[in-house]
Structure 1
Amino acid sequence: MAKYDQKFKYKVVQAYFSGEGGIRFLSKKFDIKSTSTVKKWIKQFEVFGYEGLERKKNKQTYSMNFKIDVLNYYYQSGLGIIDVAIKFNIPSTEIVSRWKKEFDTFGIDGLKPKKKGRPSMSKKKNSLKKQNQPLTSENELLRAELAFIKKVLTENPNWISHQHQILYSP
């Protein structure tokens, strides 16, 4: 998604109001992929002025009740998503579209806040420890055997040849 600064948006809006062309012409002239983007900027400017074109610096979180209110207004008013987003001062129409899709798919549960980021690894670590328990005990046994062999070899360097004779002599 392309990010446009406030000055660029204002330039496009001013071109529209000065009569340089329609929304489709201006979107082509300024190389903006969607005409709905230009339309949204014009509506934001009409409602909020120059400040309405400013990008929000921080991500805003919305409560479930707020989302329900927005969708309720959308369904009852018959207005488009752009108009509803502007009325509730939501910076992107994609946010309202996503809420609508989640509500249509999952109902009210789709509007509940979701955890962000990666899930904690604590449960996975515990299950890995249980899976690795037999390997750990086998590893400890092999270390003990190796330590025993090293000790015997330091005390009796001929022990291996003696064991070999016992095992392989006729």
Structure 2
Amino acid sequence: MAKYSDEFKVMIVREYLAGLLGYKRLAEKYKIKSTTQIKNWVLVYKEYGVEGLFRKESNEVYSVQFKLDVLSFIKRTGASLTETALHFGLTNPPMISSWNKKFLEGGAEALDQPRGRPAMFDKAKNVKSTQLTSKDEMTREQKLERENELLRLEVAYLKKLKAFQMDPDGYLERHKQRYHSNSRINSD
């Protein structure tokens, strides 16, 4: 998406409000790809004045609860992204679409993931990690072995579940003898 200067936004909004040209003609005149951008600027201007157009995209981090409240508001009211952004004081309506996509793909946990790349480790942290004692390495190794075992169990379970879902009767028939022998052992 193209970035436009604050002065340019104010000029477009004032030209629209003067009634000389509509959204479509302004977009054509100034080579703006979408009339939606101009509509958003006009709505922000009407709601917050010139200062609303001067708001910069901030690196503000919103809480998961806030994001859920915004998405819930859209669902309850059927408001558009722009109306919702104005209601919650957000300057970037497409950001709400991004939150909704993340929520649909991964639930509330996905809304908690930080943006961008993780920070690089300091050299001091790297040096410290290489100076671990053998006891610490063993603990780490044990944790990794435990994680591997749990993953193996999960894969085995999913394979059996898939086999059962594909042919429940055949699966039970193949494993019938095993279940009967186990039940006899438990009943003695």
Partner of 1:2: 2
Shift in Å at residue 67 of structure 1?
A: 0.4
Partner of 2:34: 34
Q: Secondary structure at the match of 1:98?
A: helix
Residue deviations 1:73-120 (CA, integer Å, cap 9, x gap): 111111101111121111111210100111111121121132642365
Q: Secondary structure at the match of 2:14?
A: helix
Residue deviations 1:111-165 (CA, integer Å, cap 9, x gap): 113264236575xx97xxxxxxxxxxxxxxxxxxxxxxxxxxxxxxxxxxxxxxx
Shift in Å at residue 4 of structure 1?
A: 1.1
Aligned residues: 124
Q: Secondary structure at the match of 1:102?
A: helix
Gaps of 5+ in 2: 131-188
Partner of 1:97: 97
Q: Secondary structure at the match of 1:33?
A: coil
CA contact (8 A) 2:103 2:111 kept: yes
Give the Cα separation in 2 of the matches to 1:37 and 1:115.
24
TM-score, scaled relative to structure 2? 0.60
Bigger relative contact order, structure 1 or 2 (CA pairs below 8 A, ≥6 apart): 1
Q: Which amino acid aligns with 1:37?
A: Q
Give the Cα separation in 1 of the matches to 2:32 and 2:55.
17
Deviating 4+ runs (over 2 angstroms) = 113-122
Give the Cα separation in 2 of the matches to 1:4 and 1:83.
21
Looking at CA atoms only, which structure, 1 or 2, has the larger radius of gyration?
Answer: 1
CA contact (8 A) 1:64 1:113 kept: no
Q: Which amino acid aligns with 1:29?
A: K
Partner of 1:117: 117
Give the Cα separation in 2 of the matches to 1:102 and 1:115.
12
When residues 57 and 43 of structure 1 are mapped into structure 2, their CA distance, relative to the original with a 3 A threshold, is closer
